[in-house]
Structure 1
């Protein structure tokens, strides 16, 4: 602003000099003075206006600077507040962690102190116990007049008994755990047994022997180029084995009725002497009809003998077929008759329906005579046959549950199961001679009597269970369990027996007083 004013003054001055020079000094000077005054006034106005504008601009800049300062101050204060809050939170968290750490240390110190105190008490108690124990040992030595070696031996025996008792407890726990997997292990054992003796059993139960007077008959049975034997095998469905076995021909087939048809047909052909394919077919056809009639007659005869009525004709045929079927070497029809008679007697004694019991007992094993191949257990299959041919609910349930495949829902069912067990357990019935049976029972009882504390021993259930009565004063509960294990091991090591033998040790305490 100052540069503009000077410039104007200079210009005014130059103009005034020039004016004075042309118009005269006075006029020029007067006019110059007037012009100069005007110029000064203008300059003053300009200066005044410039000062006003400068003040206004200055005020605006100051206001803007203050506003900017306030804005920056607010942002800074916010940042400061946020940082202070963050620092404060960290301080609080750190103080809490420090407090928790010190609390844990204090608790740990208290626990250590408590443990040390308990350890000292335990140590002192142990010393006192050892002192009392030594004192008792010395007292026992004085009372019993034992030498040091004798006392040591007695102590060793005591420790042995204690260790043995603990070991038996441990063994008992293991046995209880193993019972959870007993079913699977039993299946494995059965499979192994089948692998070992399945072939022998198949040979024994699937082969019949046809005796002949001389080996010359074998050639006639075989025929020219084997046509007779092929015709016989085709007609009967049985494999006929002619080998070097003297005076015998083997008939091999799983179906016992087919084997019987083949045996009877061969017998008729040998007696008749005319052995050729046409005659073979004729004889086999007649024999099949004869066997079928015989089966029906056998079924009818047995149900009449037992006083049973209203059985379906198909079930009568199945009863007749039982004659040609064996189970564990026991004839199935004879076994079913025994079960029927036993069931009738038991039902009569209990006030139940003896006829229903006999009916269920006779039919309980019809599932072993299948009409076609099946994978069902024979009890379930027999129950299905009974339902199919109109037997009532009690008979069906008794048949299906006699091996616990289904739940027993009627009172007849356990009677059938008991009768079945009695018939199967009868000494000598299942290929066991009476002499070996009685000898095995005696050996079982002798093994039991060979142990200390045994009062009585009984081999029951055809030798499948050994019950041992012990003296309660000599044998406690732990020793009773140990005794059962020892007897079991001795039986396994010294005897040969079928199936399994259950060893039951019974310890009984009796308190007897007499009032006089």
Structure 2
């Protein structure tokens, strides 16, 4: 009995010991978990502090750069003061020398006066002093003019450089091609259509080449005319979103794109006003501004040029103490007349000034528009600022390319040449001028006449138009009849 009790006691002690061991292990594991959590918290805190330290270090480096720039400016200012002090010293020496010379001349004049009457002496002395003073004044005036001109030139360079640096941005040059991304490779087949009927309908309607390439999940629109290219872009984007592409839907999408052009013009005009910080512009002017988004000058987008010119003009006017709003407004509207040059006779400066005046723009703004190419005299400092800002925006590297304007001019000349033929209603120069598609009036040209017209146009192009390679002439005669059942 005693042995059983002892055994039970031993077993109980062993169990208690085992429980104590398990409990101790759990305690140790809990402590290790707590230690790990604390270590992780400490690590995160260290990372936060390191990030804060890095941020402060970057701020310190930025501050050091600013202090270094301030130091350089201070050194330049100190050098300027030293140069001015040297000039003052030289002027003082020159004045002292002149004073001594005048005293000597005065003594000699007094000696000569002793041999003349008082009236003669006074007259002679006065004449001599006046002549001397006039000569000295002319020399000093010229010296002041040179110093003032040099200081003005240096300050003008500083103002222009500062304005250009503030408005440093990507160039606004236009291209004759545009890429449209597609949601899938399968969409290319829909765009092409059965036996290419969709792509043919699209190109015939828009006058834009649609290029489909293998291995690229996008298609390319190519046309020299930015308005045609934009209409084709809107049309194709609508077709891709719809997904159901066929010739009838191409026509419907194109009609919607044409109908929505005025809304897109107005939106572009409002965006330009917002970017340039101009307000209170008549709605007719806003619409004309928006139309300029599809105009280029030597490859530079006209509306982007106007916004950039407005920002540069505002910066220059602020530095010079001129009227910032007049300079900003005149610069934004200075090429307004380019929207009318193909419709009305006259220079774009004169047309733009007249349009702005008719729609309530201030006289100072109208003069800035009319004078930006020196066709009329600028009547204010703000008008001169507009001229300078226009030159800065147009002349900065990469802003313009003459080859694109020459290409566009050639294509327009080719289209006008063909459009003069009897029965022709529309001409589309495509494939960089290697193909001309001619739409004729079916009531005036019959099927047999299309062949003769194609030959006539080809001969006319060969005679009156210089071009490398060959130009394919395609005459299209299409007769449609519509009726409504109701």
TM surpasses 0.5: no
Higher relative contact order (CA 8 A, sep 6+): 2
